Chains A and B, each alone.
Chain A
Amino acid sequence: MAIKVKVMDRPVGEVSYVRATIKGLALTFKHLVDPHKVTVQYPEEKWDISPRWRGTHRMLTTEDGKAKCVACGLCPTVCPANCIKLVPGEDEEGNRYPLVFEIDEFRCIFCGYCQEVCPEEAIHVGRHYENAEYSRDRFVYDLARLTSQTHAVCEMWDPADAKGE
């Protein structure tokens, strides 16, 4: 019957607790007096977020303040999370516009396909992350809310560097 003891072969003779301790104290003291702080003091300082940041949506408007959307139905079609609700309408001159345009930001996965697919450059994902609300139903953004928001929108890609190089 073999003894099942795993014999560890470690360099015990070369291990020094005292010197390792002194080295460690020097290291921690170095960090104490010369901290390499990366923490951002959030409410006062904020990150420069990437121009490609995809946050909560915004609907851009025409000069007379109406949504640019023509209710073509591409964004609810492409949306993989099925979070856009669109009911199209049409006025007397035959112009299509959204009667209802709602985005459930809880369902949204912020892929940005809606912005990519939009032929009118109307719906955009925003460069924005402070989204706190006091109730859950405030997270279904309706057309009024989408058009009234003012935060910067995602650039998706840099026209000068389309491949991201």
Chain B
Amino acid sequence: MISHALPFLLQVADSQLPPTTGVWLIATVIKMIAIFSLVMVVVAYSTFAERRISAWIQDRHGPNRVGPWGLFQVLADGVKNIMKEETYPADANKILFILAPALAFIPAMLTWAVIPFASPLPTPWGRIDMVVADLPVGFLFTLAISSLGVYGLTLAGWSSNNKYALLGGLRASAQMISYEIAMGMSTVCVLLLSGNVHLTEIINQQATMGWNVFLLSIAFFLFLVAAFAETNRVPFDLPEAESELIAGYHTEYSAMKFSMFPISEYANMITAGAMLSTLFLGGWDIPFTSWDNLPPFTVLKTVLTFAMFSAKVTFWIFFYIWIRWTLPRFRYDQLMSLGWKVMLPLALAYVAIIATVVVVLDRAGVARGHVYGLILFGINIVLAVALFFVLDRGRIMSPAYSRLDRAAVDKLRAVAPSRSTLRGPGA
């Protein structure tokens, strides 16, 4: 039966046109397996990259013993994690305790279903899109799925029956909710420009108008900060703040179940890097040429655009690691006030400004192309300079006491014991 079906399924078609349903099905399965394996390998090696790069930044060597340059360290880590003992805390909610690592891991991988990673590949059986599922609502899908990741963290903290883990889980949920809003708001601007939530369309828009990082610089910056918060990376790693919460939500986990949390953290990092690249750096678009965006599609174009996309994602992984060894962790109230009092109002105001600009430019009859992009770029430079001027001096990361103005401080001083008595004699 299959031998009868195969010729029909694999019938030769025009390599520039969409394939038949059968070919599409087979291609999708192959893409699923390929993307899953590739992301898992990249996750493994980004743990290695993290260890080596952090070592270099700290003037150390890092793991360099297992295999050439320590490249097999990830295999050793994997074997170690699988061989270790699984422990279950007394009175833990066992079902949720086992479920939580999977819940953290699955959403991190799911987002990859809709991210386009190269230009379409021509095959003898038709043109294959280089995205696992070319969802028309791709962008909304990523927003929905990325919010689900917090369930894993919160449930891990709750089911452990440990107060530190619970605090970590609570922090994770509060942080995710706060930054999810700013993240969503900052991406509204992207949708205003592309007029579509289809990720492939967003890439095409950037290929014609210029990358969104220049057209929507402030949205890009807000998205970047929110992405750090969403992936629980330094300086937003409050859920596992080891100085206060031992290890936060995964305090009670051991062996492979523990390992699932770092794996999902790195998978989230890669996903966030891919989203940053897709929404703001043109996805697989090669800059300064439209050769890669226009048909006819060739294998060479697919390979080059895939290399471009990989380079962008790799840069973001490196950037995450770089930031980690530069910035100290925020205090919890700073985290909350940054999210609600700076990022959210900024994102809202920026949406309003960009919406106005888009309406004005469209009314003025400016075609959506390079000129349109240049005008937006100019506006963004002005806005960025103004924003930097306003936010610069101690207003972004304010200490807890900064809200007191001079008069209030003087008033407190008047009623407080004088400083000389506090200091004691001889001071």
- Report which A residues bind B (CB closer than 8 A): 2-10, 12-19, 21, 24-25, 27-29, 31-32, 35-39, 41
Most B CB atoms within 10 A — which of A4, A18, A29, A32?
A32
Which residues on A sit within 8 Å (CB–CB) of B393?
Answer: 13-16
A115 to B165 Cα, complex, angstroms: 58
**Nearest CB on A from B17, distance (A):** 48
Q: Are B327 and A24 in contact (CB under 8 A)?
A: yes
A7 to B414 Cα, complex, angstroms: 11
Residue pairs across A and B with Cβ atoms less than 8 A apart, 19 shown, are A6-B416, A9-B409, A10-B399, A12-B394, A14-B393, A18-B392, A18-B396, A21-B326, A24-B327, A25-B322, A25-B323, A28-B325, A31-B57, A31-B59, A32-B322, A35-B56, A36-B59, A39-B59, A39-B60
Q: Are B416 and A4 in contact (CB under 8 A)?
A: yes
Pick the contact of A32: B53, B388, B409 (CB < 8 A).
B53
Pick the contact of B322: A28, A35, A39 (CB < 8 A).
A28
Residue of A with least CB distance to B397? A17
Q: Is B413 among interface residues, defined by CB-CB distance under 8 A?
A: yes
Which residues on B sit within 8 Å (CB–CB) of A24?
Answer: 326-327
Which residues on B sit within 8 Å (CB–CB) of A18?
Answer: 388, 391-392, 396
Residue of A with least CB distance to B318? A32
A151 to B392 Cα, complex, angstroms: 63
Q: Are A35 and B59 in contact (CB under 8 A)?
A: yes
Q: Is B365 among interface residues, defined by CB-CB distance under 8 A?
A: no
**Nearest CB on B from A107, distance (A):** 35
A89 to B397 Cα, complex, angstroms: 80
- Report which B residues bind A (CB closer than 8 A): 53, 56-61, 322-323, 325-327, 388, 391-394, 396-399, 401-402, 404, 409, 412-413, 415-417, 422
A7 to B327 Cα, complex, angstroms: 26
**Given contacts A6-B416, A24-B326, could you give 8 more A-B pairs where the C-beta distance is less than 8 Å?**
A3-B412, A16-B393, A18-B388, A25-B326, A27-B326, A28-B326, A29-B322, A37-B59
Which residues on B sit within 8 Å (CB–CB) of A19?
Answer: 392
A86 to B394 Cα, complex, angstroms: 73
Q: Are B56 and A32 in contact (CB under 8 A)?
A: yes
Most A CB atoms within 10 A — which of B322, B326, B391, B412?
B326
A73 to B8 Cα, complex, angstroms: 100
Q: Are A7 and B412 in contact (CB under 8 A)?
A: yes
Q: Are B397 and A7 in contact (CB under 8 A)?
A: no
Q: Are B416 and A5 in contact (CB under 8 A)?
A: yes
